[in-house]
Amino acid sequence: MKVSPLRLSLKITLVLLLHILLILVSINAKPQDDLIMKTQINHKVSAVLVFGDSTSDPGNNNYILTPFKGNFPPYGRDFANQKPTGRFTNGLLTSDLVARYLGVKDNIPPYLDPSLTIHDLMTGVSFASAGSGYDPLTPTISNVIPLQRQLEYFREYKVRLTAKLGVRRAQEIINNAVYLVSAGTNDFVVNYFTLPVRRQEFSLPSYMDFLMNKELEFLQGLLDEGARKIGVAGLPPMGCLPIVITLFSKDAVLERGCIDYFSSVGRSYNSMLQNGLNIMQFNNAQQDARITYFDTYSPLFDVVAGHKYGFKEVKLGCCGTGLLETTFLCNPKSSICPDASKYAFWDSIHPTEEVYKIVFKSLQSNLDFIIKE
């Protein structure tokens, strides 16, 4: 059958138009979507499993008896549907952003949420608890979930997966999951520097050794349970946290600069941690384990002390006076800054979502290392 020149021309035109449309769609696609698609194609990541403190607790403390909760306004003001979930910020946490980057899920739910489905469990949960730490004394101060108990919950999680999916499939999920661990700040800020108990038992160097042993012990526990891709966050510049400046400055109103003494402790501990992780990586190389250090100190220091990203306010939290407010002191009656994206801190301890985004971007190369095949 002979095709007329006019019909042939129309077909060619339609094909060209479709091709141009596909190019335009790809150009206008969100960078985040591109990253997710790329990761799904090139990497086999089954789930994201999270351990630690308020920097990664999406709401586990909602289900325990503790004053350390963030499941009420103004927390979550910039979260989906302005929903306070228990996250100690205005929106997403770094762990949520990691899950999105990996294409696993949009947000990491708390393990203690009774409404979790098997799909929720398969793709990852957080065991983290705001107020927790590696020192067993730290979580007792606010009656939250110790890291060792979080490890026990992980073992329980494995049993639940196995019961639903069978041994082989459950083990595949465990081995191919990305593990995020973020804790330690409370051990110093809430515990050692504020209460006298540990200071009577330990000098600062010996307490750092004690804490390091507890952290490495916890990480070895994860490896023993099948974890193979682990990212471990270091300490932030603790002297730049608004609450630390308020509590330990000579004039907390006029002198709002970072206190280097507390930040130097973070730097020293982070150096110890990197050495410890390198040794752990070497000792577990035959198991094909990848353990990497996540530097959270540098991006936060750049934000607060370096004024690198142009935030309007880096010395006070967005909630209330910004000097001391956190958890129940930051509540529905508190005054709130109109635009949290211009603030480095949401309350006197916790960063805003905008800062968590900066931290996440700084971790991407290390994250890519532990997930590459």
Active site (catalytic) residues = 54, 347, 350
- Alpha carbon 137 to chain centroid, angstroms: 22
What token pair was written down for 346?
């949401």
C-beta separation of 136 from 142 below 8 A: no
- The residue written with tokens 């949960």 in the block is 125
Alpha helices per DSSP H over the chain: 5-28, 31-42, 94-101, 118-123, 137-142, 147-165, 167-176, 185-186, 197-201, 204-224, 242-248, 260-283, 297-304, 353-371
**What kind and span of H or E run contains 231?**
strand 229-233
Q: Alpha-carbon distance 362 to 180, whole Å?
A: 15
Give me the sign of the Cα torsion angle 152, 157, 158, 162.
positive
Q: Looking at the chain, how many residues does it have?
A: 373
Compute the distance between CA of residue 56 and CA of residue 39 in angstroms, rounded to an integer. 22
Residues 6+ apart with CB under 8 A from 220: 280
With CA atoms as reference, report the closest residue to 159 among 171, 148, 147, 141: 171
Neighbour tally for 281: CB within 10 Å: 15
Backbone angles phi, psi at 231, to 5 degrees: -110, 125
Q: Which residues pair with residue 181 across a beta bridge?
A: 51, 232
Under 8 Å between Cβ of 91 and 79: yes
